[in-house]
Amino acid sequence: MNLEKLRMRLSIIVLVSHFGGCLLIIAMFFLNGYTFEEMTTAVGLVAPMFAYYAGVVIKHIIGTGIVEAAAVPQKQVTKPFAWLSLTLPILFALIIWCLCISWAYFRRYDTFEQFKIILGVVEGLFAASMGALVAALFGK
């Protein structure tokens, strides 16, 4: 797989998963899965990651601009690197979505505070793993 395709696929996965996570939380609020305070707190934990990666992706797209195809070198990435780059964000997104759904409809935690802690820990792990990928792919 070439580097630019991997960058775009990863960008789409991360942005859609986090934007989708925010929309999922908001939708669950309207379906009575969250109180207003819980919804704003949960979105507040998920949205900063969305904002950061959106900024990186938009900056990259603006920086690359429009160039002729012959002028763009086609760097290749290894299959294990591509697999890891695409699999990690999907797994973390699924975990985050499941955590949000489990609080909204199954109350799998004793308190909302416990939910906030586990969501924050998972978002932190996601940020740490994605930091290495973003640095490798986007040079940040």
Q: Which two tokens stand for residue 119?
A: 């969501």
What average pLDDT is seen over the chain? 88
What lies within 8 Å, CB to CB, of 41 at 6+ separation is: 112, 116
> Model confidence over 14-70: pLDDT tens digits?
888 889 999 999 999 999 999 999 999 999 999 988 788 888 878 877 877 665 555
pLDDT at 115 over 70: yes
User: Which pTM value belongs to this model?
Assistant: 0.84
When divided into structural domains, the chain yields a total of: 1
SS (H, E, C) the chain: CEHHHHHHHHHHHHHHHHHHHHHHHHHHHHCCCCCHHHHHHHHHHHHHHHHHHHHHHHHHHHHHCCCCHHHCCCCECCHHHHHHHHHHHHHHHHHHHHHHHHHHHHCCCCCHHHHHHHHHHHHHHHHHHHHHHHHHHHCC
Residue range(s) defining the domain that contains residue 96: 3-138
Nearest to 112 by CA among 24, 37, 30, 31: 37
